[in-house]
Amino acid sequence: DASDIEKGTYPHFMLKEIDEQPIVMRKIIKEYQNENNELKLDEEIRAAMKAADRIYIIAAGTSYHAGLVGKEFIEKLAKIPVEVHVASEFSYNMPLLSEKPLFIFISQSGETADSRAVLVKIKEMGHPALTITNVPGSTLSREADYTLHLYAGPEIAVASTKAYTAQIAVLAILAVDTARAKGLELDFDPMQELAIVANAMDVLTAQKEEIEQLARDYLSTTRNAFFIGRSADFNVSLEGSLKLKEISYIQAEGFAGGELKHGTIALIEKGTPVIALATQENVNYSIRGNVQEVVARGANALIVSMKGLEQDDDAFVLPKVHELLTPLASVVPLQLLAYYAALHRGCDVDKPRNLAKSVTVE
């Protein structure tokens, strides 16, 4: 059928979409830059960002996880406080809002009913809304005041991959644009750093054999798995665990490295896989301490670190990218781990049971 033709030589859309990530990064760099190499964003969006005293990011699933990463960018670069909310919770339990809120809806499809319910409510209240979506013209895009396009191309696999990294890249550009509009000094050039990320993604997507072997070694028979990380790595550990559970049905959870000892460590048994991310210099020492704690209780630790921070026993070392953008690199091996784990376990990678690509009911 037609979808088989689109897949080309790939066995699954998910693998194709993972491989498209460096191309999407380069597309975003091109689309968000003018001929003078200046960031190209709608003036109205710039003004709305500048005017906000607090930003509320609303999303579901993988898009929610991208929002967690985006919060870091907006707070660190543009110095605006950000709250990230799961859409289905926000509708019925609205937090106290600031005086000049701006709502950012992150949605690959632009059709998620839980997010739309929030959009309808906050529009009734008279608040401005920006939708970041892969589908301009979608419901969330039409009903919001402003839209930013992800330029990721159609994403067919139910498990989102290239939309997540596109969302993060666009959020980084938005944060820098806002910072510049506010006259803040930055020593961070987003386009240069995203170009480095694209090259790192080329390297990572070429390491499929190594990652397939890791999936075989760590995930082929296990019933559960843990992902741990601190700060930016914690955000990615949530996405890594979501990918794994969505398509391989392995019960997986992401945890903050320091939180393990407050309960979760009770679940560690001999052979339990613990995938630890170590891409952040300021927590490199402490996350490795957390790894030792689980290894002492029998865990099978797989450490994914970044060049410059690596140690002898690390299973996988990422090429170096800017510290703010590490999620764009570290998520790639986690996507591939989930893919190969699902493949080896005979799961339907592109159409996992019980899941839909976009959920248009509340």
DSSP 42-78: -HHHHHHHHH-SEEEEEE-HHHHHHHHHHHHHIIIII
Q: What angle do CA 16, 22, 23 make, to 5 degrees?
A: 80
Total number of residues that touch ligand G6P (CB under 6 A): 16
Contact call for residue 147 and ligand G6P (CB under 6 A): no
Contact call for residue 107 and ligand G6P (CB under 6 A): yes
Q: Which is nearer to ligand G6P, 172 or 306 (CB)?
A: 172
Residues 193-252 that bind ligand G6P (CB under 6 A): none
**Nearest-approach distance from CB 171 to ligand G6P, in angstroms:** 13
Helices (H) and strands (E) in the chain, counts: 14, 10
- Per DSSP, what are the bridge partners of residue 274? 226, 301
**Nearest-approach distance from CB 152 to ligand G6P, in angstroms:** 11
Contact between 41 and 177 under an 8 Å Cβ cutoff? The reply is yes
* Structural tokens at position 41: 């964003």
In angstroms, the first-to-last Cα distance of the chain is: 32
Q: What angle do CA 119, 120, 126 make, to 5 degrees?
A: 85
**Nearest-approach distance from CB 135 to ligand G6P, in angstroms:** 8
Q: Which is nearer to ligand G6P, 20 or 193 (CB)?
A: 20
Burial letters for 205-224: b for 16+ Cβ neighbours within 10 Å, e otherwise?
beebeebbebbeebbeebee
Q: How far apart are CA 122 and CA 103, in angstroms?
A: 8
- The contact mask relative to ligand G6P for 151-190 (x = CB under 6 A, - = no) is -------x-x------------------------------
Contact call for residue 358 and ligand G6P (CB under 6 A): yes
Residue span binding ligand G6P (CB under 6 A) among the ranges 4-12, 101-109, 196-204, 252-260: 101-109
Residue span binding ligand G6P (CB under 6 A) among the ranges 48-56, 103-111, 266-274, 294-302: 103-111
Residue number of the CB closest to ligand G6P reads 61
- The contact mask relative to ligand G6P for 300-339 (x = CB under 6 A, - = no) is ----------------------------------------
Neighbouring C-beta atoms of residue 90, cutoff 10 Å: 22
DSSP 191-239: HHHHHHHHHHHHHHHT-HHHHHHHHHHHHSS-SEEEEEESTHHHHHHHH
Q: How far apart are CA 98 and CA 45, in angstroms?
A: 19
Active site residue 100: no
- The contact mask relative to ligand G6P for 43-82 (x = CB under 6 A, - = no) is -----------------xxxx-------------------
Q: Which is nearer to ligand G6P, 115 or 141 (CB)?
A: 115
Options 108, 139, 235, 326; binder of ligand G6P; rule CB under 6 A = 108
Residue positions counted in the chain: 362
Contact call for residue 97 and ligand G6P (CB under 6 A): no
Residues 27-46 that bind ligand G6P (CB under 6 A): none
Contact call for residue 359 and ligand G6P (CB under 6 A): yes
Q: Catalytic site residues?
A: 357
User: Contact residues for ligand G6P (CB under 6 A)?
Assistant: 60-63, 107-109, 112, 115, 158, 160, 355-359
